[in-house]
Structure 1
Amino acid sequence: MSDRFQQMRAFVQVVDSGSFVAAAEALDSSKAAVSRQVAELEARLGVRLLHRTTRRLSLTADGERFHARCRTLLAELDAAEAELSAHHGKAMGVLRVSVPVSYGLCRLAPLWPRFAALHPQVQLEVTLSDLFADLAHEGLDLAIRISHQPGPHLIARRLGQARMRLCASPAYLARAGTPASPVELPHHRLLGHLVGAARDEWVFRRQEARAAPLTVRVAPAFRSNNGDTCVAMAVAGEGILYEPDFIVERALQAGTLVPLCADDTHHMLGIDAVYASRRHLAPKVRLLIDFLATELGGEALPPMV
């Protein structure tokens, strides 16, 4: 039975990694061993699971069906092992997490070694991406999202908030003038995102009691799917940007960017840990959520009953 599961893990990893070489690295094995396990799996089943060419791998129709079932079975096996180990004070198994690039580098990167030291039998796999990953399709246990709404059909646990900051370089302001209010922004050169809620509208919260949010329609002259790239453009004097505080804080501290429109309380975004279901939540996932909530000042999960 153990050989059967090893073959299934090898097959799933090859598909997920896109090559036998990458799968071997992920499994800490050799390309020959992984290739042999997949070949043995196909021979035992009597079907071809993969189309192999010199340039790429692709799933056969049988391979697509079997890949989905293998993922489910292996996830259940990992969850069962983790749940059993939790009763003995341990967490174990692979823990796959997706985090936004800039937040992952600025805030989360220093935390991973501490979590790993606390739970040495948990194998962290952290993917940095600013795209909203499909947790089930990509085999993820957890994702960190910074947004107005973390997404439907997901369970969200608040870890903190990020304050949006409007800023520009002294050189740009000396050349183009300083906007007195966000309503003047359409008359300036703006730097913005390619995707997301802030693509075409920037929202500001006014300090006046009960004042409605101020929404400004924008048409940035430069767009990127990464906030650090926008910061680099702003520091070079290329325009005004509206980014979360953790992205611009270093430039603000260094004086290469300066804050704008101080009379406006800038919009807050939620920082959430999201996962697919409350049922059968693996102990390793619960432990990571509680750890991040403690470190980031957010909400821990209620105790298990």
Structure 2
Amino acid sequence: MKATIQCNKNSILAEIDKRIYGSFIEHLGRAVYDGIYEPNHPQANELGFREDVLDAINELNVPLVRYPGGNFVSGYNWEDGIGPVEHRPRRLELAWRSVETNEVGLHEFMKWAELANTEVDMAVNLGTRGIDAARNLLEYCNHPEGTYYSELRKQNGAEQPFNIKTGNKMIKTPTYHVFDLYKYHQDAELMDTYGDTKEHVDYTVSKKDERIAISICNHSLNSKETIDFNLPDYTFDNAEAWILSADKMDAHNTFEDPNAVSKKLFDDYSIKDKQISVTLPPMSIATILIKGA
């Protein structure tokens, strides 16, 4: 039995805050070193950041990135990552059992965030440290001038404040391609919808500048699902769509097969009058963009 969803273009529930589509970078494995930062890589820029990685991130419009962790931050001294790189201490990193060189620290990451066109959600160490260290970090990053830590920031080469946001937890990061499929909902208006779907089907319908985005997820391991979206207040006659799907629940990308699970054009939908009917295979996510009036 297929489901029918009624979509009311003129009834808006709320604006979808783009920050819920945020991500994070942690000093973990190859996320920083040999990930975003790899000075000897042929595509590294003059700062050591990989341009190919930056290009991929910029395609996603990532609005917010938490840094520097994660478990990592629970034993991290932010002061280790400021000042001349050659004078920074090498520390045992106990969360992930590695040695932290502090080659990438606060100033380097702020430069990376600027290149990635994203804001920084700075995590603070409330594990081995506490509120006082967090207060000093905030003063270093955000106070314009005239205090010990703001002047120290200026001595280290950042005349203007970083204006960071602070926090310790945020939404879990989806995969790269899911980010790509859901970026159309950032700062869009969440439309009022109603109708019954099976418990393994989720959807989001939003509007932005006369463009409607419909994202649908079919969690079922073996059943395809058909959903009709009725848009009585909207005039349209075409759409474009993409899907992320795989034959196995544990399918994943590897260095040997980086496109095993990747976004593809999707055409299993039909438009009739003011209705769009979508059929999703099991284990799939799709986004459909509709432009009209």
TM-score by length of 1: 0.24
Q: Normalising by the residue count of structure 2, what TM-score does the alignment of the two structures yield?
A: 0.25
Higher strand share: 2
